[in-house]
Amino acid sequence: MDLRIYSEYGAIQQVLMHRPGNEIDRLTPYNKNLLLFEDVPYLEEMQKEHDYFCQLIRQACGAEVLLFQELLMELLLDKDILLRVMRDSLSSSGMTHLAEELIATLSTYECANALVAGIKVHEAKRKNPKIQFGELMDLAYLIPPTPNLYFQRDTAAVTPAGLVFSRMKMEGRQREANMVRSIFEEHPRFKGKTKKVFPLDGHDNPASLEGGDIIILSEKAVAVGHSERTDEKAIYHLAKRLIAEGTIERVYEVELPKKRNFMHLDTVFTILDENLVLTYPEALNAVAKLSVYRHKNGEGEQMNIKRSVLNDSLLQILKDEIPHLQTIQYGRENTDNALREQWFDGANVFTIAPRKVISYNRNKHTNRALRDIGVEVLEIPSSELCRGLGGPRCMTMPISRKKT
């Protein structure tokens, strides 16, 4: 069967995550902005927090947590795939011609570590002094690190219509999406089970689209954030493919401010149950424009869609799509608390079953508001995980949920 997910709240059965590793220790006060980080985390504590998170998912609902690094290792046992992935990863330094020499020098484990944590010229020289690196300095990266990889939600999304593979806005993150795509398309666990929705075949340089901007409203409707990371053109192509597949009837484009704290749509709201949504008033009010794509005429390759600009608010759209909607709009009484907790992704909880969520322990006021209306809140430590500015939903990519 094709991988498909029909809601944001069905009990989680299988989820893909990445345990932070040596790539985090590549961050310094001087390169953190270049590597799209706000701060320099403490790796060992970060790993403890992530391990607690993974174990909580397993214990709370019996879900299978698949770890990216383990799947990557298994995938790289295929030497043809290893060579292709290594060449792709060396392209940023212009050293693709060294792929075979590096593979002959490094073990499969070391190759997997190099692909995620990066490898510098002097590190490769230590392994094999005979390799020639041209004019590259010893401290230059042959393969750059991927410290944002623990935000697995960014790299892909499983929808009611199939799999969306992200085209990352920041070129330095595209390797993350490429490796995740390779796992879904070529790992024995998933090979033959993926129906690709995006990007379109033949589009060598598609517009950017990231998984955190995709939220399933229902089996018939999807919302996509037009954010600083997802382009309008990509939303059009995605909408056309989703609607053409026949499952989705409406794709909403939600235009967000191009600001760091509104990076993706899932920083604005998350769905906790069939009629329950968590958001912040400031986030709802920040939506600049709403549009909807629907089927116009034709079918197959000749199918056309039409886009209509909406005068309704995002809250009204959610009410239209989610019958008997109840919203938790935390922060009406205390805007300081709301602003602080929104910065640390208070609305970005991970729903593991209807009205059962995992949230950062630091967002105590939001968590209290959730409990007050009967939501079961499981808290995870967050002093280090939050430093990349992403929440529990950002760190998880659901592969399978129970259909409700």
Judge contact between 330 and 344, C-beta under 8 A: no
Q: Where are the beta strands (DSSP E) in 34-167?
A: 64-67, 119-120, 141-143, 156-159, 162-165
Closest-CA residue to 397 (of 81, 145, 71, 85): 71
Judge contact between 278 and 370, C-beta under 8 A: yes
Closest-CA residue to 248 (of 273, 212, 214, 288): 214
Question: Active-site residue among 54, 111, 386, 394?
Answer: 394
Rounded Cα distance, 263 and 225, in Å: 9
Tell me the C-alpha to C-alpha distance, in Å, between residue 300 and each of 113, 195, 246: 43, 16, 10
Give bridge partners of residue 223 from the DSSP assignment.
215, 252
Determine the 3-state secondary structure of 396 from DSSP. coil
Rounded Cα distance, 53 and 50, in Å: 5
Task: Count CA atoms within 13 Å of residue 151 on its CB side.
Answer: 28
Q: Is 54 a catalytic residue?
A: no
**Catalytic residue ranges:** 394
